[in-house]
Amino acid sequence: MSATATPDSASRKVQEVESITIRFAGDSGDGMQLAGTQFTNVSAVLGNDIATFPDFPAEIRAPAGTLAGVSGFQVHFASSDIHTPGDTLNCLVVMNPAALKTNLRDLEPGGILIVNSDSFGANDLKKAKYTVNPLEDGSLKGYRVVRVAIDTLNREAVKECGLTPKDSDRCKNFFALGLVYWMFERPMDGTLKYIKDKFGKKIDVLEANTRSLKAGYNYGDTVEVMPVQYRVAKAKMTPGVYRKITGNEAMAMGLVTASTLAEKQLVFSGYPITPASDILHQLADMKNFGVKTLQAEDEIAAVGIAIGAAYGGAIGITATSGPGICLKAEAIGLAVMTELPLVVIDVQRGGPSTGLPTKTEQADLLQAMFGRNGECPVAIVAPRSPGDCFDMAFEAIRIATQFMVPTFVLSDGYIANGAEPWPIPDLSKLPSIKVQHPTGPNSSNGQTHENGAGEPGTFLPYKRNELLVRPWAIPGTPGLEHRIGGIEKQDGTGNVNYDGHNHEHMVKTRAQKVANIAKTIPDLEIEGDQDGDLLVIGWGGTYGSIATAVQRARRKGLKVGQVHFRHLNPFPKNTAEVFKKFKKFLIPELNAGQLLLLLRAQFLIPAQGYNKVQGRPFLVSELEEAIEGILKS
Amino acid sequence: MATTALPTLKPQDFASDQEIRWCPGCGDYSILAQMKKALSTLNFPREKMAFVSGIGCSSRFPYYMNTYGFHTIHGRAPTFATGLKLAQPELMVWVVTGDGDGLSIGGNHLIHALRRNIDIKVLLFNNEIYGLTKGQYSPTSRVGTKSKTTLQGSVDSPIRPLSMAIAAEATFVARTMDLDPNHLTMTLQRAAAHKGSAFVEIYQNCKIFNDGVFEYVTEKTTKSDNAMFLEHGKPMIFGKDRNKGIRLNGLTPEVVTIGKDCALDDVVVHDENVENPTMAYLLSRFMCPAFPEAFGVVRNVSKPSYDELQAKQSADALAKKGKGDLMKMFKNDDLWTVE
Ligand code: SF4
């Protein structure tokens, strides 16, 4: 928490710190996600930089009080520029023994531990598999333990609201939230307004939650549970208007923005799957933007509908996670073959198979790259942060429509659910997206259509432009009637063709077309040292941890550069040049080394991987160690 | 839709330049010919027609039509057709599928397209065999069918396409056959006119791998005794002498001889528009030799189509919220300003 005591802080018992990482942990039913989200909103509006990490179990309601049912929400808020939700916790709020047991290891030595002491009865301890009460056996003496009888105090606070005991207890997350608002000098207004908007119609619940929040705050104030309050000043951020955004929100908005600016209808078809469903939820509420959504019968139908819509001249989009990509593979191959614009969003999670549905991983890169039969290249982009999902969604639509090629967006559970401040974009500064459709015959260059013998001007569905892109003719256009399909076709006419040489020509053409995308994407930018001993290479949602680790290493005097790939197929055209400037290469990935494989194969660099597959993001400290390690070796 | 006079189209205007590759004598030829004929009578612009298919002999169909066409992947044609119709509601979208494509690998999509009542016309060419993969039994093959994968005869019960369509809440369900061109043309015209998803099972002879499997209903000598042609508002009668009919005994149908077992008045009158699907379901179960097999429109009820309802929701959203405003969308949360 790197404290910088201000001169007057002693008298006012306020200590100024640069950043705080806090985690709310409790049972799935305890409302920890809500408490964390509220704390985040209030901190963002206060002007702190923020990064969040919601972490919830795969089961919606595992048996109450058990280790399997613990749900957590971590918020890192700071007066400086931050990129990660924080490695270690300065403050941990636990609502029961199970939450204590599963989260304590992340609390820094001497950190603040707020404990709901009412939930440490014999039965609670048993469910959390404690044989002795940790509040009494001295095991917590390395922390600043704040014991608060939250259940009792909360029930007392709401007793006049006429709620059942069970409903009264449901307010206790607000009591805990009020307490930490006091501790970290957060105002309550935002949350009071939220309660009012949410429970406006249920007066008793509205009143109870309001009282709980205030009671928690006042309890902190009057009892002075801590000798100090902490203050985190506003962050120095680029001037502008900001909001908080999660990756899935940014993704949905990016899609709608691109389709609106391109003046195209967006058809989105998805099948419910964690952690991608939110994108469908968001878009279902955007019909007034010309968005059509459909919840399909399965993953295959979802992509089929998107491809059918793309054939129909709309922007066809589907979103899923790894298991869904497996099911969609054959249809994506068809979209490659028929050269239709399709956007496939993969919000990656731990695999294989059902794997770790609510945890993050980056292990679908090779699936996106190669997971289809035949030579079947697609374009791949990957956002590096929650807000970047907006830009990459936009970019995916740009690539798909400009190149008539399926384009993957590889997001992940961590950035999809995590949040950060997001500057409201200036519409006039967004890149333009222009989509053109042919309206008449195109066979002017002397190519003949078999059907066209004697007819002046026919339509050649596979006649290509200088980037090797075929025209996107919309069914309904008179004179352009044509057939497409999954069987190999003759270039130009698109007629079924089984000739081996033609097939090879088409395979190469499809590959070259994807390679041509590199002509339209920005160069790779080196951050940190522009040449030197070590280049740290990343992609996707790990940007924040890698950037922070590289900054710290450089502060220690190490000569380290960083590149982060947002375009993974094709790679930016200056990639080989960038690699020439460095001696060693470290590729941290939340998989067993997938970008590592691609870069070693394509660029023949002696790169080393740093790999983690624990369903959790990198800690900055892990990466710092890895950087120092490779430089010493 | 265009209000200007449409050029009159002839059946041959619907022929593409592609060489047709079905086996000589395949029932698909007749279906293709009747389709061109049916479409030429619709007074509907050719560029607004699209054929979508999956994989199998029948699925080559789009290549032979000079309309828009999409030959997709095995079993999934209804999904692509759904997306196409959503994107371009003005199109008349046909799906051509077979018993393997539509009922085996693609059974799920077919069920859901029908229950959704999206405005697409599904033609299921039923030849009770896998042709393109050279003769394996299919989900509609009768018990005992000997094929390359069922050397001693198949033991599993076939699915009845019409029963499935009715169970899936299809609003238009019909059956016809490749070898009755007039009935085929008429049925295709009826399907084209239906708003919502239409399902047509077409008995189709696979000359190579299952020749003659429908002979009992297609051959002149046996046709009238084994096939009952339904007409809305007319009694369900059949037979060489038109003296056999269907009577209901409670919920059990029985074949009766008119004039001997009962009067004409006792015979069930076909009502294709009746909401209750019970009679349609009973008809879908009629199998020779116990019953004549039903041809014609078994069920035809009207319900708003999925695409219409989607369009209505979009219009409602537009009316309620106004045209989408990107800035408003960006700012739809707590905001703060950094100076
Ligand atoms: S295999 Fe049978 S269904 Fe296929 S084209 Fe030949 S005759 Fe027709």
3-state helix, strand, coil in chain B (%, to 5): 35, 20, 45
Domain contains B327 = no
Amino acid A227: pLDDT = 81
Q: ipTM of this model?
A: 0.97
Is the same domain home to B55 and B196?
yes
Please write the tens of the pLDDT for every residue from A183-214: 999 999 999 999 999 998 899 999 999 999 99
Residue of B50, B65, B336 with shortest CB distance to A47? B336
Distances (CA, A) of B154 to A146, B135, B268, B301: 73, 13, 35, 36
**Considering chain A, what is the average pLDDT of its residues?**
93
* Burial class of residue B99, CB neighbours in 10 A (0-12, 13-18, 19+): buried
Both B93 and B34 in a single domain? yes
Domains contained in chain B, number: 2
Cβ–Cβ < 8 Å for A116, A148? yes
Buried b / exposed e over B265-296, threshold 16 CB at 10 Å, is eebbebbbeeeebebbbbbbebeeeebbbbbb
Q: Given pLDDT bands bounded at 50, 70 and 90, which one contains residue A449? A: very low
Residue A1's pLDDT is 55
**Contact yes or no for A301 and B112 at CB 8 A:** yes
Which domains, from first to last, does chain A contain? 9-232 (3.40.920.10), 243-429 (3.40.50.970), 527-632 (3.40.50.920)
Both B299 and B265 in one domain: the answer is no
Distance A109 CA to ligand 1 centre (A): 76
- Give the residue, A573 or A447, on which the prediction is more confident: A573
pLDDT of A445: 52
Residue A540 reports pLDDT greater than 90: yes
pLDDT at A444: 64
| B6 in any annotated domain | no
Q: Residue B26 C-alpha to ligand 1 middle, in angstroms? A: 5
CB B91 within 8 A of CB A347: no
Boundary residue ending a domain (B243, B269, B295): B269
CA of B294: how far to CAs of A536, B202, B256, B261, B284, in Å?
71, 12, 16, 21, 7
Q: Which of B208, B211, B214 to mutate to test the pocket of ligand 1 (most atoms within 8 A of CB)?
A: B208
**Locate tokens 């300065």: which residue?**
A90
Question: Would you say residue B81 lies in a domain?
Answer: yes
Residue B239 lies in a domain: yes
Please give the residue range of the domain that contains residue B252. Answer: 235-269
Residues B142 and B48 grouped into a single domain: yes
Interface of B with A in 18-37 (CB under 8 A): 18
pLDDT exceeds 80 at position A5: no
SS3 state at B328: helix
Chain A residues 14-53 with CB within 8 Å of chain B: 41, 44-47
Distance A65 CA to ligand 1 centre (A): 64
**Whether residue A147 has pLDDT greater than 80:** yes
Binning pLDDT at 50, 70 and 90, where does residue A130 land? very high
Per-residue pLDDT of chain B in tens (339 residues, 90 and over written 9): 445 566 789 999 999 999 999 999 999 999 999 999 999 999 999 999 999 999 999 999 999 999 999 999 999 999 999 999 999 999 999 999 999 999 999 999 999 999 999 999 999 999 999 999 999 999 999 999 999 999 999 999 999 999 999 999 999 999 999 999 999 999 999 999 999 999 999 999 999 999 999 999 999 999 999 999 999 999 999 999 999 999 999 999 999 999 999 999 999 999 999 999 999 999 999 999 999 999 999 999 999 999 999 999 999 999 999 999 999 999 998 898 988
Residue B24 maps to which CATH number? 3.40.50.970
User: CB A476 to CB B48 under 8 A?
Assistant: yes
Residue B134 is assigned to a structural domain of this protein: yes
Please report whether residue B318 resides in a domain. Answer: no
Contact status of B310 with chain A (Cβ, < 8 Å)? yes
pLDDT digits (tens, 9 = 90+) for A8-51: 444 448 899 999 999 999 998 899 999 999 999 999 999 999 99
Please determine, for residue A101, whether its predicted confidence score (pLDDT) is greater than 90: yes
Interface of A with B in 430-489 (CB under 8 A): 449-451, 474-487
Share of chain A above pLDDT 90, in %: 90
Interface test with A, best of B67, B114, B333, B339 (most A CBs within 10 A): B333
Q: Which of A521, A561, A517, A558 is nearest to A538 (CA)?
A: A561
How many Cα neighbours within 13 Å face the side chain of B336?
A: 20
Asked if B196 and B305 sit in the same domain, the reply is yes
One domain for residues B128 and B255: no
CA of B204 to the centre of ligand 1 (A): 9
Asked if residue B22 and residue B78 are part of one domain, the reply reads yes
When computed from its CA atoms, the radius of gyration of chain B, rounded to whole angstroms, is 23
CA gyration radius for chain A? 27
Give nearest CA residue, ligand 1 atom 3: B206
Is residue B322 one of the residues assigned to a domain? Answer: no
**In a shared domain, residues B189 and B247:** no
Tell which residue, A180, A175, A165, A179, has the closest CA to residue A195.
A175
Which amino acid does the sequence have at A601?
A
Please tell me whether the peptide bond between A7 and the residue prior to it is cis, using omega within 30 degrees of 0.
Answer: no
Assess A284–B contact: CB distance below 8 Å, yes or no.
no
Tell me the whole-structure pTM to 2 decimals: 0.93
10 Å CB burial of residue B2 (0-12, 13-18, 19+) is: exposed
* A338 close contact with B: CB closer than 8 A: yes
Q: Are residues B161 and B251 in the same domain?
A: no
Structure tokens at A361: 């991983």
Query: How far is it, in rounded angstroms, from Cα A385 to Cα A81?
Result: 14
8 Å CB contact of A475 and B112? no
CB atoms within 10 A of CB A272: 14
Within a domain: B305: yes
The answer to whether A327 contacts chain B (CB < 8 Å) is no
φ, ψ at A343 (rounded to 5°):
-110, 125
Confidence of residue A226 (pLDDT cuts 50, 70, 90): confident
